[in-house]
Copies of this chain bind each other. A is one copy, B any other.
Amino acid sequence: MIITIQQQTLDHIQTIEHYKQVLALLSWDTNTYAPKNSKKQLAKIQSTLATKLHLLQTNSDFRNNLELLLQEDLNELQRKIFNLHLKEFTELSSISIEDIQQFSLKKALTSTNWAIAKLNNNFQLVQDDLKEIIETKKRFANLKNPNLSPYDQLLNEYEPDILTKTIDPLFENIKSTIIPFLNQIRNVNSNLDTSFIKNPFPIEKQKILGKELLKSIGYNFESGQMGVTQHPFSAGIHSGDARLAVKYVGNNVKVGALMTLHEGGHSLYTQNINEKLVDTGLGKYTSMGFHESQSIFWEKIIGKHEEFWKIHFPFLQQHHPEVYKNVSFNQFFFALSEVKPSLTRYEADDITYPLHIIIRYEIEKELFTNEVNVKDLPEIWNAKYKNYLDIRPTNYSEGILQDIHWYSGSFGYFPSYLLGFIYAAQLREAIIKDYPNFDQLIAAGDFSTILQWQTQNIHQFGKLKSSKEILNSLNISEISERPLLEYLIQKYGRLYSTFALK
């Protein structure tokens, strides 16, 4: 039997993808069911497999074959598959395996130290670690692509072709529109009592609600499952296995419900990628921002839609009458949507959420562009919160130590959250163009029409289309913050004028 170079290369790619999938599964396990005493060994196993994966990805015969094949007459799919892996080869082989292993260790150690530091409200504990991580990230970014500034390179790893020069004007405009708008509504008083939202809501009941919500939006439980974890995530292993894990807070059903819809949105994306792409490397979300656009669409655009809760509010009243029998729909909906500056990103309302992200973006960019002393970070953070949100962290844990991202080496990631919100609003306009009765679809609980539209225009392609190609196919020329700002100001302007204390 003669195996062609092309088949041999596709087989090699399949093996690479299998290793990625098993690593995703091990990461799911680590963060859900793995017993405490298994974690150290699990990390060793992951390291063995990650090293093997790296060797497969940076194999020089593989590179030669890819280059050879790319000179041939290929169809579009083949060309995209081979290009993707050649790009991966180039980036990965620019850094030595020893460097990668050492940095993995450093990141793991710093993540652990971060948890201790956060618990003890002690930034000094991780200050030097963080400094070292930033320096290493700069060095790696330069090695990967000396033609880009380090921070632009980092941005690109999450959002191809998006640079600071694209983001800066978008985020500036959002900031300068939202801050005055926030000041306008933050002092509006409502006569609706929303204190019930923090009443105890047993976790078992929250799980039942979460399952109900996921079913309703079209999450396929035969291609996924719901787990419990500390930091919510969706493990997009492949289209047949898009598990998600949620964190529940016993006295905050809002967090449980919205997080479930958020991770559900990520998982809908994965579940609806064309299964033929599974072992090619193209069977994944096209960019982090687009991945986030899908989670935010289901969490914020649908999951905070008045009509969505007109359907689901009776479920709350039926399953948790202790709290909900005396709560009106208006009270509930206002509690769900209420704008209230807080220090915590993942609990933030729709209006302040962009500001949480912009603060992190501005600090990251500064860290990688100019010389910032890491020891000054807590004060830089706190000053920005005071400036933009008019609240000020009183300790490190609520401030500079809030998120794990930087301490686990993720820089350039935060902007994806806001890019996702921006895309989501653009996609909302696009679907409304096709379905002017969008609100009625939601009112009728017809989420399958919406999901079908997403699948057809976005999900199915995986990495076959870039973010920009998807936008263009919907007659959107480029990323723009206008739809987001219009959506927010219209929605929250109306909400606050309706329920303002007259």
A residues near B (Cβ < 8 Å) are 14-15, 18-19, 21-22, 25-26, 29, 33-38, 40-42, 44-45, 48-49, 52, 220-225, 227, 237-238, 240-241, 243, 278-279
Report the bound CA distance from A29 to B18 in whole Å: 16
Is the Cβ of A240 less than 8 Å from the Cβ of B35? Answer: yes
B222 near A35 with CB under 8 A, answer yes
Chain B residues with Cβ under 8 A from A241's Cβ?
Answer: 34-35, 37-38, 41-42
Inter-chain contact B225/A41, CB cutoff 8 Å = no
- Sorted from nearest, which 10 A-B pairs have the closest CB atoms? A38-B241, A37-B240, A37-B223, A18-B48, A36-B222, A38-B240, A18-B45, A37-B222, A35-B223, A35-B224
Residues of B within 8 A of A220 (CB): 37
- Expressed in whole angstroms, the Cα–Cα distance for A83 and B142 within the complex equals 49
In the complex, what residues of B have CB within 8 A of residue A45's CB?
18, 21-22
A221-B33 Cα distance, complex, nearest whole Å: 11
User: How many angstroms from the CA of A37 to the CA of B221 in the assembled complex?
Assistant: 9
Docked complex Cα distance between A257 and B257 (Å): 36
By a CB distance below 8 angstroms, the chain B residues around A279 are 44
Give the docked Cα–Cα distance between A14 and B41 (Å): 11
State the CA gap A375–B125 with chains docked (Å).
72
Partner of A22, one of B22, B35, B37, B223: B22
Closest chain-B Cβ to A72's Cβ sits at a distance in Å of 27
- Give the nearest-CB partner of A47 in chain B: B18
A238 to B44, CA, bound (A): 12
B residues in contact with A240, CB < 8 Å: 35, 37-38, 40-41
- Would B29 and A238 count as touching, CB distance under 8 A? no
Shortest C-beta distance, A270 to chain B (Å), equals: 11
Give the complex CA separation of A172 and B36 in angstroms. 47
* Contact between A26 and B22, CB atoms less than 8 A apart: yes
Q: Cα distance A26–B28 when bound, in Å?
A: 12
Q: What separation, in Å, do the CA atoms of A37 and B222 have in the docked complex? A: 6
Nearest chain-B residue to A241 (Cβ)?
A: B38
Q: Is the CB of B29 within 8 A of A41?
A: no
User: Can you give 6 contacting A-B residue pairs, CB < 8 Å?
Assistant: A18-B48, A19-B48, A35-B241, A35-B243, A40-B240, A41-B238
A269 to chain B, nearest CB (A): 16
Query: What residue in chain B is nearest A271 (Cβ atoms)?
Result: B37
Instruction: Let me know if A15 and B48 touch, CB within 8 A.
Output: yes
Residue of B nearest to A224 (CB): B35
When distances are taken between beta carbons in the complex, the residues of chain B under 8 Å from A225 are: 33, 35
Residue ID in chain B nearest A33 by CB atoms: B225
**Are B35 and A221 in touch, CB under 8 angstroms?**
yes
A35 and B243 alpha carbons, distance in the complex (Å): 8
CA distance A45 to B26 in the complex (A): 13
Q: What residues of chain B lie closer than 8 Å to A15, measured between beta carbons? A: 48
Report how far A215 CA is from B21 CA in the complex, Å. Answer: 35
Known: A14-B48, A37-B222, A38-B240. 20 other contacts (CB 8 A): A18-B49, A19-B48, A21-B45, A22-B26, A33-B33, A35-B223, A35-B224, A35-B240, A35-B243, A36-B223, A37-B220, A37-B223, A37-B240, A38-B237, A38-B238, A38-B241, A40-B240, A41-B238, A44-B279, A52-B52
